[in-house]
Every structure is written in structure tokens, then in C-alpha cells.
Amino acid sequence: MLCPNQIYFKVIKGKAINKGVTNIMKKFILKRLLISVVLLFFVSLIIYGIMRCMPTSYVENQAMALATRPGSKSYQEWVEQLNAQYGLDTGVIQGYFSWAARAIRLDFGDSWYWNQPVLQKFSSVIWYSFALALASFILEIAIAIPAGISAARKQYSMTDYTVTVVALIGISLPSFFFATILKYIFSVKLGWLDLYGIVGRNHQSLSDFGKFIDIAKHMILPTLTLLVVSIGSLMRYTRTNMLEVLGADYIRTARAKGLSEKKVVNYHAFRNTLIPIVTLLGGSLPGLFGGAMITETLFQIPGIGYTSYQCIVQGDIPFVMFYMVFMAVLTLLGNLLADILYAVVDPRVRVN
Amino acid sequence: MSKLQMNAEATTSEQKHTEDNILEVKHLKKYFPITGGFFGGVTGHVKAVDDVSFTIKRGTTMGLVGESGCGKSTTGRTILRLLEKTEGDVLFDGEDISKYDKKKLRELRTKMQIIFQDPYSSLSPRLPVGEIIGEAVREHGLISKDAYNDYITKIMKECGLQEYHKDRYPHEFSGGQRQRICIARALALQPEFVVCDEPVSALDVSVQAQIINLLQELQRDRNLTYLFISHDLSVVEHISDTIGVMYLGSLVETGETADIFDEPLHPYTKALFSAIPMPDPDLKKERILLQGDIPSPANPPKGCKFHTRCKDCMEICKSVAPKAKDMGNGHIVRCHLYDEAVDS
């Protein structure tokens, strides 16, 4: 019987990977990818159906605007013309398949709202979202895990209560509320940072380094918002897992061995706490590309979240379809990654 | 001097340490606070170990028996300072280890080890077996780097494990093999004294015998001293030189194994031993059934703790706690039935 612990062992020790094991992993990953394709089909079908059923459509808005022009065709005529133009004169199912036929070839068409190819718009905005998400992700890990561990080590102490209260505040506060408070303090009262936007008014006149600093300064408040709303759950998660591990019998064994407290906590306990944490964090890696719709919108950061928000409001079917399918792919990828990581870090998990 | 003495009285606790006694436990108490109420204050104490005294001679095995929940394991762990005692002294090689600071305590771990009851949960699932066994050896710097690998292999072979087991993880082993890993882990530190905390109760009978034999072999080879905690009387009879019987946190009777099995004195010991199944169907024996449940250790009965379930209960038992009486050859009992035997 081959099992992933051997992979774990090989990875850790840096030795050659057993061929049989990789084959099993390959099969597992291939199977999951095939299932993902089926899932993507249904996900995109449902999203397309919903998009077509939205109460306001891009075409109707356009027709309304065009019909008010002096000497123009009637509203009804415009709707018919535009429907034919945008390919909306067919049924939902037919419309979906003509979208899917092109999407398979990675041709997502032009965005109606932005008047440029979807992929072009996407690649111009995604890095803002990624930078924002990555910054808050790194800070989250750097703060939440040590805080969770020290809270668990000193259960029911002042540290523990502080961490718990901070975590609860973070979990409970909606991002728009916290963002508003931040804006009020740092922009309105102190005037240190701009209220919104990704660049300042004089961005063009700055040197390259100055431009970088300018963007970084505009990222501070959105990053802080994302950090506070996401940090609580990871802190609690770390604390809970650490408490469970610290109470385990093998920690008592480690203490009986006469190891130093540092070694017991950092080596024995933390190693076992890592299993669920790595799984959780690894699974959220693809999510870094997903954008933060609310936070980006609040601060008008031109990332994928804010861009998609505008498209959804306008009923821009090609862009929204792309964004939604992209999100679905990220979620599936995250789950797959979590499962693989689970096998890699936990010697007990076997892929069957 | 008997192999074991229960130093209940002040006179005996003043007794000087002799070379032969590897461990002396004097009036050891371990109370766990019970918190409750609105403000989480301490509302009482669970008296898990309540004034326990005994000594163990080097190279011998002392068996500690009693019902589950009577404080056997807590006694073992408190001796090792895995739990901090409430009161009393523990002398190891004549030194009071309760005053050791963290650094000295860590050094002490190489001399005193423990084998835990559950071989499933007491091994870290994330570490390969070689690391579990060898980690502490490296940490304490017992063996030079060159000799390390051979040393671990040697210990594993002594405990019935193979060299190729080193890179495997605990979940790949059976219960008996896991207990061998636990034993190898404890012995790798070359201890003088090992607390065996019900080391076989999680294993099936055929494997129990193997593990017991292994423990005895290792004891002979390395001149080990065991404190063998168990509720299985036949196992204890087989392995122990001396026996202590515990009830509700107190030792009620101690003495040499043969003396206690031939002539149990305390009514509780009698009841306990009458429950041992005999392989002779014709043997008619009187079975003493204890009435009622074991009382709560948070609120033990006054006087003799056993009086609520004792068939020989007298008036004095309900109010006065019995003192330890030596009935000869170090056979010590705490029971009012033997008051006159000593007085006369």
C-alpha cells in the first residue's frame, strides 16, 4: 500500500520521489480535474441563466438611452436591433451553448461595458486585487498564527481574552463599517491618506519610486480593512487547534521526555496544529486572485472585484460570465489544493 | 529493613535515606481544585492523592493496585512532577526533587521515565518512530553523533523492533508494537526508574504477556526499578516484588507480594483479591462483594475512607482515621481491626 506519507517524507527529506506514489497522486488529481469540468459546466449554466433573467438588462438600458434621442427609432425597435446585435435573440439554452462553445477556446468575447476584450480588461485589473489580497494574507498569517498560539498556551489569561475579543470584533464587524471608520479617522480627521482611489492626484508627475510609494499608500486602508475582517477566524482557528493538540497525550509524552517547553510547543504541538492550518491556508491561495468586491468598491480600487461590480450593475454578460467562471475555477482549485496539501502534511491520510 | 516501608508516622519520615532506596515518597498529596460558581472561584478539592508514603528499593518492582479513579496514575505522574504536588516530599536517590528548577528537572527526566497507558494517543502522529525514540537522546546529548544511529537501532532491537521501522509512522503499527515503541522511547534515555502507568491494559491478553516479559527482561539487563501501576491483579502478582493497595487516594495496605497475596489483611484488599478468577473449578472460594459505589474523592468519608463499604465496619471507623500498623516483615496496614494486635 502506498500512501502520501511517503511523499511527505520524501518532500521533507528531499529524496527522490517514489514512482508508484506519484502515479497514485496523478490519478487522484486527474479524477478531481475531470469532476471539476462537470461542475464548471453546471455552474456556468446556472450563472448564465440568472444573468439572462436579471430584471434590468444592458440592452434595455441602451435602448432606453438611444430612444430618447431626437428623431430616433422607437424603444421597441432599438431593443430588437440590440438583442440581435448582442446575440440575445435566442433562448437561454441556445445562448449558453454559443457562449460555452467560444469559452472553451478561451474566447470570452468583448466586454459590453468596457468596450474591450474581456481578457484584456481582466489582465489590466487583476494585479491590483492580487497585491491587495497578498499583502493582507501575509499580514494575517504573520499576526494571527502567533497570536492564536500564545492565546492557547496561556488559556484564560489576559492574552487569551484580548485575542478572543479582537477576533470577535474582527469577525463581527462588516467590512464597510470598518472601512468607514478608518476613512473617518485617517482621511477626514488626520488627513494622512486619501479617501479612495489607487493613485493620488499628482501621480503622473512622480518618479517611478514615488509612483510605487503613492500606490502603496493608497493600499494601506483597504489592506487594513481586509486584514481586520479576515484575521479573527484564523486566530480562533489556530487557538482551538493548538488547545486541542496541547491537551493531547503525546504532548505529555514530549514533556516526560524532558524536552524544553519551547521545543514541546514549537516542534511537537505546532507541527500537529499545522495540519489543519496549512490545509485552510493552502485552500485559500487561489482566492488571492478573486478580488474583494466590497472593499475594492468602497475604496474604488480598480481591481477585479470593483470592475466586476460595475459590470454586474450594468448587466455586462460577457464580463460577468468570465468573472463568475473564474471564481468557480478558483474555488475548485482551492479545494483540490487543500486536499493535496492534506495528504502532503499528514502522514496518516491515504488517497483511496 | 524490608523492601518497602510505609512511612506514615513522623518517626519513620525522619529515618535517614539508605543507599538501597531509589525512591522515597513521603506524605504525598495532590489536590485538584474544583472551580465553579458565578465568579469561577475554587469551591473544593478533588483529593486524588491524599497522604501517600512508600519507598522503593533499587532494582525492584512495586505494584500499585486499586480501582480505577483511586489515584494510582496521579500518584505516578506526581512523583515524576508531570503534575505538581500539593504537599509532601519525593526523594529520588536521596535528593528532594520537588525543589528542582526547570533545568535540573529536565536532567532528571533522563533518570526517571514513564510508559503511558495508551500507546495510541501517546505517540505524536507526525513523527517517524526513529525520531520519537531518538529525539530526547539527542536533546539531552546522551550519545555522540557518530554512535547515535547504532544506539537507536540497538534500543529498538532490544525492545523487539526492527531497524526498518525507524522511518515509519506510529499509525502503521499495531497496539503491541506501539507499546514497544513507547518502551524503547523511555529506555533510550537510560533511566534508573520507570513508572509503568498501566502499560498493558490497552492491549489484548496474548500481547500483554509479551510486553510483561519484555519489561522483566529489560529490568534484569539494566537493573531498572519499576513502579508498576495496574488494576490487573494477576499481572501485578507476576511482576511485582512489593505491592501497595490504594483506595480513594490513600494506601490501605503495603507489603511484599507473597505476604499480601497469601494473607491480605485489609478488608478492601480481601474484597479485591477475592475477585481474582481461579483456574481451578473445584475450588470453593468466598467471593466478597463490595456494596455501593466508590465515594467521591472530592468529599471522602470521615474516619476510615473505606468504612462506607466495609463489611467489618465498627463504630470507631466512622470517626477516626486508622493509623499505619506494621504487622511484621514490612507488611503495613491501615485498619482499626488490627489496633489491638499492635497494642498488645
Inter-chain contact A271–B82, Cβ cutoff 8 Å?
no
A-chain residues near B140 (CB < 8 A): 258
Task: Output b/e per residue, B167-201; b: 16+ Cβ within 10 A.
Answer: ebbbebbebbbbbbbbbbbbbbbbbbbbbbbbbbe
What's B97's DSSP letter? G
Q: Which residue has the cell 487543500?
A: A338
> Which residue ranges make up each domain of chain A?
1-35, 50-107, 116-351
Is the pLDDT assigned to residue A33 strictly greater than 80? yes
In chain B, which residues have their Cβ closer than 8 Å to the Cβ of A344?
A: none
How far is Cα A302 from Cα A210, in angstroms, rounded to an integer?
20
* Cβ B74 vs Cβ B48: under 8 Å: yes
- Per-residue DSSP letters for B138-193? HHHT-S-HHHHHHHHHHHHHHTT--GGGGGS-GGGS-HHHHHHHHHHHHHTT--SE
Homologous superfamily of domain range A116-351: MetI-like (1.10.3720.10)
- Whether B81 contacts chain A with CB within 8 A: no
Q: What is the mean pLDDT of chain A?
A: 82
Which pLDDT band holds residue B152 (cuts at 50, 70, 90)? very high
Q: DSSP assignment of A286-349, as one string?
A: GGGGS--HHHHHHHT--SHHHHHHHHHHHT-HHHHHHHHHHHHHHHHHHHHHHHHHHHHH-TT-
Mean pLDDT (chain B) is 85
Restricting to B residues 28-47, those with a Cβ less than 8 Å away from any Cβ of A are none
Per DSSP, the three-state class of B52 is: strand
pLDDT the model gives residue B3: 44
Query: What is the torsion angle, in degrees rounded to the nearest 10, for the CA atoms of residue A143, residue A147, residue A149 and residue A151?
Result: -170
Q: Find which of B117, B124, B193 to mutate to test the A interface (most A CBs within 10 Å of its CB).
A: B124
Angle (CA) A13 A16 A21, round 5°:
100
SS3 state at A136: helix
Whether residue A256 and residue B139 make contact (CB cut-off 8 A), yes or no, is no
Burial class (CB in 10 A: 0-12, 13-18, 19+), B308: buried
Q: What's the CA gap between B230 and A168, in Å, rounded?
A: 46
A15 touches B: beta carbon within 8 Å? no
Cβ–Cβ of A253/B123 closer than 8 Å?
A: yes
Q: Which three cell numbers stand for residue B98?
A: 520537588
Q: Is B136 on the interface with A (CB under 8 A)?
A: yes
- Inspect the interface and report whether the beta carbons of B139 and A259 lie closer than 8 Å: yes
Q: Chain A contacts of B185, Cβ < 8 Å?
A: 253, 257
Residues of A in contact with B108 (CB under 8 A): 258
Residue A296 CA from chain centroid, whole number:
13
Q: What is the grid cell recorded at B270? A: 480481601
| Nearest residue of B to residue A5, measured between CA atoms | B169
Rounded Cα gap, residues A82 and A64, in angstroms: 11
The mean per-residue pLDDT over the stretch B92-118 comes to: 88
> How many Cβ atoms sit within 10 Å of the Cβ of residue B163?
14
B113/A contact by beta carbon, under 8 A: yes
pLDDT band, very low/low/confident/very high, at A46 (cuts 50, 70, 90): very high
Mean pLDDT across A148-158: 88
User: What percentage of chain B carries pLDDT values higher than 90?
Assistant: 22
Shortest CA distance from A10: residue in chain B = B167
pLDDT of residue A347: 65
For residues A40 and A328, the answer to whether their CB atoms sit within 8 Å is yes
Size of interface A-B (CB pairs under 8 A): 72
- Specify the pLDDT at position B12: 43
Q: Which grid coordinates are listed for A226? A: 481586509
pLDDT of residue B342: 52
The verdict on a CB contact (< 8 Å) between A250 and B123 is: yes
Residues A207-233 have a mean pLDDT of 87
B330 min Cα distance to partner chain A (Å): 32
Instruction: Tell me if chain A has a CB within 8 Å of the CB of B118.
Output: yes
Contact A132, A226 (CB under 8 A): yes
Q: Residue A175: phi, psi to the nearest 5?
A: -65, -35
Indicate the pLDDT class of residue A17, thresholds 50, 70 and 90: very low
Instruction: Output the pLDDT for position A105.
Output: 86
Q: What percent of chain A has pLDDT over 90?
A: 10
Cell numbers describing residue B149: 544511529
Give pLDDT tens digits for B139-150: 888 888 888 999
Q: Does residue A255 register a pLDDT over 80? A: yes
Task: Give B289 to chain A, closest Cα distance, Å.
Answer: 35
Q: What confidence category does residue B7 fall into, taking pLDDT thresholds of 50, 70 and 90?
A: very low
CA distance A155 to chain B (A): 15
| CA-wise closest residue to A197 among A184, A183, A208 | A183
Measure CB to CB from residue A249 to each of B108, B122, B171 and give the nearest one.
B122
In order of A21, A200, B11, B314, B324, the CA distances from B336 in angstroms are 70, 92, 20, 8, 9
Question: DSSP character for B4?
Answer: -
What is the predicted ipTM? 0.77
Q: Which of the pair, A12 or B299, is modelled with greater confidence?
A: B299
A277 close to B (CB below 8 A): no
B82 touches chain A (CB under 8 A): yes
CA distance B303 to chain A (A): 36
Tell me if chain A has a CB within 8 Å of the CB of B109: yes
Across A274-300, average pLDDT: 84
- Confidence band, pLDDT 50/70/90 cuts, at residue A143: very high
CA distance B127 to A251: 12
Looking at the complex, does the CB of residue A348 fall below 8 Å from at least one CB of chain B? yes
pLDDT band at B341 (very low <50, low <70, confident <90, very high): low
CA torsion sign for B310, B313, B317, B319 is positive
Q: Which of A258, A261, A263 sits opposite B109 (nearest CB)?
A: A258
Find chain B residues with C-beta within 8 A of A258's C-beta.
105-110, 136, 139-140, 189
Identify the band that residue A206 occupies on the pLDDT scale cut at 50, 70 and 90.
confident
Cell of A126: 487583476
Question: In this predicted model, what pLDDT tens digit does every residue of B39-94 receive, in sequence order?
Answer: 777 888 888 888 899 999 998 999 999 888 888 999 999 998 988 889 888 998 88
Give A5's pLDDT tier (boundaries 50, 70, 90).
very low
Residue B1: Cβ-neighbour burial (10 angstroms; 0-12, 13-18, 19+):
exposed
Work out the minimum CA distance from A258 to partner chain B, whole angstroms.
Answer: 5
Measured CA to CA, the distance from residue B79 to residue B98 in angstroms comes to 9
> Does A4 score more than 50 pLDDT?
no
User: What tens digit of pLDDT does each residue of A66-96 get?
Assistant: 878 777 777 788 888 888 878 777 888 888 8
Per-residue pLDDT of A157-191, as tens digits, reads 888 899 899 899 888 888 889 888 888 999 888 88
Q: Tell whether the model's pLDDT for residue B337 goes beyond 70.
A: yes
On chain A, the residues whose CB falls within 8 A of the CB of B126 are 271-272, 275, 346-347
Q: Which residue has the higher pLDDT, A62 or A241?
A: A241
Mean of pLDDT values over A200-204: 75
Chain B partners of A268 at a C-beta cutoff of 8 Å?
Answer: 124, 127
